[in-house]
Amino acid sequence: MSRKVKPIPKAELDGYYADAENYLLKPWLTRPLPYREPIIVGGKGAYFYDATGREYLDFLSQLFNINLGMLNPKVVEAVREQVGKVNYTKNTMLNIPKIQLAKRLAELTHKSLTKTFFSNSGTEANEAAFKIARLFTGRTRIISLWTPSSPSSPDSTTSPPPTATGAPSGWSTRAAGSAAPISWRTPSSSKGPTRWRPS
């Protein structure tokens, strides 16, 4: 048991679990009772603490979102400072930290990589990647896996939608159990998808 946090009384904790069951849509499967996933109430560095006071070593950095650790003092201070000025701007607006970070990334990466696109989600990032690839190559086809994996997605067994791959409207891109790439052709050039086979 961690001495970092004070355990929440059982009656109060049961109330939180009941509220979670009643009001949260979970994008993951929960193991059956008596198991209960931990309710995280604190953390420090590579460790986090649940509402019962138990301490965990976080091997995934909360899905890689806090690679510098829980409550890293420099990150906490930077967030406090920025929230005191501007706490959010939509991605069609400029702000100084965004400009500064884009410049720093250009300085650290290959000289041909000078621009950065900041997105709100993986879906938005994928869509931007498709568009950038098409603009850069002049090609219209996208190769994807039948069953790409996204550990945080409740629908992780689907390929990109037909609008992203260039497949005609109404085509399904789902096929269970196959990890071979599929090459979608544009409607003007083919009758349908063709399975790609390595030579």
Contact present, 190 and 144 (Cβ < 8 Å): no
Domain ranges of the chain: 10-75, 132-195
Q: Is the pLDDT of residue 157 over 50?
A: no
- Give the span between the Cα atoms of 146 and 48, in whole angstroms: 36
What average pLDDT does this structure show over 87-94?
Answer: 89
Q: Is the pLDDT of residue 176 over 50?
A: no
- Looking at CATH, the fold of the domain delimited by 10-75 is given as Aspartate Aminotransferase, domain 1 (3.90.1150)
- Give the span between the Cα atoms of 50 and 38, in whole angstroms: 6
Counting residues of the chain whose pLDDT is more than 90, the rounded percentage is 44
The confidence score (pLDDT) of residue 23 equals 95
pLDDT, one tens digit per residue, over 186-197 is: 444 444 444 444
**Confidence class for position 78, pLDDT limits 50, 70, 90:** very high
**Confidence class for position 52, pLDDT limits 50, 70, 90:** very high
Q: Is the pLDDT of residue 181 over 90?
A: no
**Confidence class for position 29, pLDDT limits 50, 70, 90:** confident
> Of 121, 157, 123, 154, which Cα lies nearest the Cα of 26?
154
Q: How many residues does the chain have?
A: 199
The confidence score (pLDDT) of residue 183 equals 46
Omega into 34 within 30° of 0, i.e. cis? yes
pTM of the full structure: 0.60
* AA identity, residue 40: I
Q: Is the pLDDT of residue 95 over 70?
A: yes
SS (H, E, C) the chain: CCCCCCCCCHHHHHHHHHHHHHHCCCCCCCCCCCCCCCCEEEEEECEEEECCCCEEECCCHHHHCCCCCECCHHHHHHHHHHHCCCCCCCCCCCCHHHHHHHHHHHHHCCCCCCCCCCCCCHHHHHHHHHHHHHHHHCCCCCEEECCCCCCCCCCCCCCCCHHHHCCCCCCCCCCCCCCCEEECCCCCCCCCCEECCCC
Q: What is the mean pLDDT of the chain?
A: 78
Q: And the tokens for 3?
A: 């001495």
* AA identity, residue 1: M
